[in-house]
Structure 1
């Protein structure tokens, strides 16, 4: 029991440390919030102008909500993804990564603390974005099932984190190029997940790629809950839930295993001595 309490406190210590790092780089938080809000507004204004392009039969409210959900989920995915990968980069900047890996705690405890902070940070960031963007439109949310929306975000968070842990290997092994490569992974997820469009409009050879992206299922479940008021126990939501559970069960342990292999390799080859 004492060992579990120690590990829980150590995990919370990483949560608190990441919060302090966020406060230290608070200006970047404002920069990214402004950027994401501007990007979300640009996309949703496209939906609002659909009727001006000849789409007289288009349900503008539904289209705006469809796009707003896409931009919000993408922001959440990006923030949680960065919450894991960017911390490795920051620790290189700070020159503390060797000290972190020397701490007498398991890597699982270290990563869990960072991941829970990434989820909390992502939820807060996305809520602020939704609040600001939503104030620009008079949206009809009478059908929205908020319980389904929260459920899908929380279930999807586990899968997002699994991908984030695996991708954090890149800045660990490649000091200069690691962050750049992690952005490429995010760009590919953006392309195949149906963030701004239905995956059925993609080329046939690309559509199977959407099945391995957790964002695809989160978006499907969220849109069903908010646009149509679909409850959690419906078959539509369940068909999006069980793939997320499977992806999470596979990706999180695999991500931690890949990270441990990369850590041992980095220690053996002296890559951790390079920072900045």
Structure 2
């Protein structure tokens, strides 16, 4: 079961739907959180999986956050030469980042055409959300039995940031914080494998929401996150699990499986990074 958590969300949900692994089996995986204690990732990049080069780590983190904040829409072409110029690193370093993003299903490499931000199909989009509905209720159910004061403080501070971003009309921050809340839950649960898994799913979900035009106000509400934190504080795992399941189902229900392509300017998104 541990190995299943390291597959992409699409692979996991597809395996589940094929009947190879039961829902109870996935619940067992999610309920195993907390058996290994890991500190929070602290950024978009899991510190146990850095490239060992601050410049490359920085490029990866900025590109991941651009995906999470809907600044890099699905289908965006990612020319190595342009990115190398923008970030002021070698094309070799850009290839490392693109390979990592491709492994995480966030970038698609097309022979003789180059790399593009992934465009999840309807099936992939529903598979990703199905995987999250299987795993995340188990995460919060388990977390409710062992939640600590510092976890609650971190989660409440995060929700406060979500409300502040929404009140300020800062859509990129609102979108990013909504996705990161789920990553923070996995980190608080203390299972590094599930934290990595949700790190990938958060960005895949962001692409899905952008591609299929789910309105921000309906796709991930801070109110749901606040109620979830309140259930965790009360030690009520069942209520927390129900809120999570309903919350993720609402995200899927808000999708409209049609989209319009748009063009983007990579330099306008990233600007020029300081020389490394």
Confirm or deny a common fold (TM above 0.5). no
**Higher relative contact order (Cα pairs below 8 Å, separated by 6+ residues):** 2
TM-score by length of 2: 0.32
Question: Larger helix proportion, structure 1 or 2?
Answer: 1
Higher Rg of the two aligned structures: 1
